[in-house]
Chains A and B, each alone.
Chain A
Amino acid sequence: MTDGTPETRFRFLVCIDGTDDSYRGAHYAADYGPEHDICLCYVRPMDRGLRSGGLNLRIARENMMTWGLELPGIQYLKKGRDILIDMGAMGPDWEEQATHVDVEGDPLGDNKIEYIAKSGKKIILKLKVAFNIPDGIIEQTEVAPYDLIIVGASERWRKRKTMSFWDPAVAEKVVDHAPCPVLVARHLDAARGHLLCTDGSEHANEALRKNLFLVTHGNAPVSIMTVAADVESEEEATANLKALHDILTERSITVKDSYVRVGDPAEHITKVGEDYSVIVVSETAKSPWHRFFKGSVSTDVLQKADTSVMVVR
């Protein structure tokens, strides 16, 4: 789907958890243009009996509903929907379809409301049940293909690798296992522009080229950057950056600034990235174990950056 042309209808999965970052994610997705599909998804971890002392939580939930109270997450999804309506991404006359899917182990199951425009464009509110939140997000990408997942950052992201092994943050697990690009949102606002980073590899440039529409976010200012490992390879790095510059120029995208630095890539990227809304990096690890044992620049940038980071594949 992601052929980089704005004529294509893109599908965005925005993970909503009631935080400001998650609503900014909805805003950001809507800013891509009015023709794209947006799924606002709230994942509720599956109720587990031992934790509630052997009394299934469904008893408490059913009791809540007899009082006319809503399931957790519905309020958040409604607020996300209202943001989209306010932005004009959704109209009042759209057709509405509600669906319930039973989920083994949780009788309240998955619930979905689809709002469908005459053009076929969809806004979906999804209340999903999963063993845990990251698994739920990944499962959702298996239910339907998405072009971009937007998920809020977690402070736990910044913990050391040992803590991350014990209990990885939601965004960390989603980035590790998602089949599509992931935007980890931190105070997300496209106004300050996007910083596209490349290591010059064909893999990185191809990932950027393939997701050009996503990484440039409409009319947001674009700057590019590369980091050479040492002074000797600085010339090669400059050539790499030139190659990326050419790719963008080919698509009539104006490059605002270009940066070539020497040293630790993650360190330089996060420092330069401070002035941008989104740092865009491509996933360099070839496999999960490669990432786990050898690490990857994208993971380091995600951990160190104070701004939003998009990882493209």
Chain B
Amino acid sequence: MMEPTPEVLAAVLARAADGVQVLAVKALTGGASSATYAVDAERAGAAWPLILQCAAAGEVPEGAMPKAHQAALQQLAGRHGVPVADVVAVLEPGDGLGEGFIMARVAGEALAPKWLKLPEYAAAREALTGQCAAVLARLHAVPISEVAGLKLPGGRIGKAHARMFENYRSFGVDSPVFDLAFAWLAERCGDAEPSAIVHGDFRSGNFIIDQHGLAALLDWELAHLGEGAEDLGWLCANAWRFGVWQKPVGGFGEREALYEAYEAAGGAHVDRGRAHMWEVWGTLRWGLACLQMGHDHVSGRVRSVERAAIGRRVSEVELDLLHLIRFGGI
């Protein structure tokens, strides 16, 4: 695998525009599944700020959506009125960089702890619940036939539950609270066929926020076919409130306002009990992500003080699950 140097990226971008120069490439994050770079380019002499997102190991893991399909889905969502970063170029095997794509770098604040607290984002926070509701209503209204050509994971909900339980058992950890939550969900989740495109990671940490609110929705790599309300539940998990726990919608809004705005924007009726079920589901899913990160460290796959420390956040998730199940919310 080659490094994404300015020369290599200039060759990729030449497919998208004339007179492109790439001045600098800076690694931003090295996640478990993808690597992100800020690319400072120029087009016809004007600054062209871009982002390159590549699969961490050159290709996406087994069963995951190929990066080219992720790019296509992002563009499709954009055509349906979802604010996304415009995809500029998709990597090809001949580029030598593995799977990935280049998109516009949308101006704004990506760090949720900042925009959730700084006074200059007060108006943005005020508008955000309604904007999230409208964006999700639009995404969930896209007929799933439109993504028939894309490799989006998905299946019946009962199967998703079974897959999640299998994932939990693969870590060899016994958490009575996680088993309790799996049993609680099994009684309630049902076994419906997928009915909508679910973003799959719709949370405060994946928004670009400007003075007016949501400027772009990032990270489509966990998108799948399922039930739209899953995105509503995930957005309300306590882990994304960054300490602003009194505001259940992402640390900035109220549940009823979200549901009402979603319905008003053309989304399906939100069964409140069903939305609560998806909150428990999302909270458990975050708990499994914590176990995964602890496992990455213990197994030696990615030895890191950060991953080991996140493994210790499992107990927070257990407490949230108990609170949700005992008292119907957090």
**Binding partners A and B:** no
By a beta-carbon cutoff of 8 Å, the part of chain A in contact with chain B is none
By a beta-carbon cutoff of 8 Å, the part of chain B in contact with chain A is none
